[in-house]
Amino acid sequence: DSGVTQTPKHLITATGQRVTLRCSPRSGDLSVYWYQQSLDQGLQFLIQYYNGEERAKGNILERFSAQQFPDLHSELNLSSLELGDSALYFCASSVVGSSTEAFFGQGTRLTVV
Amino acid sequence: DQQVKQNSPSLSVQEGRISILNCDYTNSMFDYFLWYKKYPAEGPTFLISISSIKDKNEDGRFTVFLNKSAKHLSLHIVPSQPGDSAVYFCAASYTGTASKLTFGTGTRLQVTL
């Protein structure tokens, strides 16, 4: 158990809909990262928050947004969903924003039908 | 542009033998490298890391070697065990960039009896 909790584990929704994925980081970790893993692909970095502030952005679509709340949990919002958004979405957390290992949650498998 | 490459999608090794997983990178600014192991339906688990100021880091059966001039790193597992069967991801980051990880596409290791 990495200490990072993601909910829900599975999500099936229709095209055009909007979903929210939730992540609770490890106790004490200030940084939260979101990654997307499509079929047979590596993990693609989406966005990072550090202590409530956006710190870095990857190839995140404009239809996607995220935030980190005062209690440090984070939410990833995906809207106007398309079939190609079907993927595993991982949240990770680390103690600080500098180079260090990040600890991953079990992921949310999103299926868009 | 794939900045971290794992050119072998799969590898099969007999139990007790050495497993060598390779990773190449193109971005010379990367200064911290990590290996993650991933089982099906689980998030990636941190395995071992190495800073660019070192060329070797060892942790039990796992050793990571870094060749900066060749922009190449490798993970050695000795001896390989059936429980090592998983997908292994190489990842890299560099300080000053909020430490987002850039992942390779992974190598599936199968340790056979």
In chain A, the residue whose alpha carbon lies closest to the alpha carbon of B108 is: A40
- What is the predicted pLDDT for the residue at B97? 55
The band of B101, judged by pLDDT with boundaries at 50, 70 and 90, is confident
pLDDT tens for A21-62 read 999 999 989 999 999 998 767 899 999 999 999 988 988 999
Cis peptide before B79 (omega within 30 of 0): yes
Q: Is A79 on the interface with B (CB under 8 A)?
A: no
User: Does the pLDDT of residue A4 top 90, yes or no?
Assistant: yes
Q: Quick check: B66 and A65 in contact, CB under 8 A? A: no
- What is the predicted pLDDT for the residue at B77? 98
User: Does the pLDDT of residue B55 top 80, yes or no?
Assistant: yes
Whole-angstrom Cα distance, residue B76 to residue B62?
Answer: 6
User: Does the pLDDT of residue B17 top 90, yes or no?
Assistant: yes
Stretch B52-68: mean pLDDT: 96
- How many CA atoms lie within 13 Å of B16's alpha carbon, on the beta-carbon side? 1
Q: What are phi and psi of A90, to 5 degrees?
A: -110, 145
Q: What are phi and psi of A106, to 5 degrees?
A: -80, -10
Measure in Å the smallest separation between the Cα of B105 and chain A Cα atoms: 4
Stretch B2-20: mean pLDDT: 95
Whole-angstrom Cα distance, residue A103 to residue A94?
Answer: 6
pLDDT tens for B76-96 read 999 999 999 999 999 998 876
User: Does the pLDDT of residue A97 top 80, yes or no?
Assistant: no
Of the listed ranges A89-93, B55-59, B95-99, the one predicted with least confidence: B95-99
Residue type, B10: S
Return the H-helix or E-strand segment holding B86. Answer: strand B86-93
- What is the predicted pLDDT for the residue at B61? 98
Kindly determine whether residue B43 and residue A43, on different chains, have CB atoms separated by under 8 Å: no
pLDDT tens for B25-37 read 999 999 999 999 9
Of A41, A101, A107, the CB nearest to B46: A101
Terminal CA-CA length for chain B: 38
Q: Is B35 on the interface with A (CB under 8 A)?
A: no
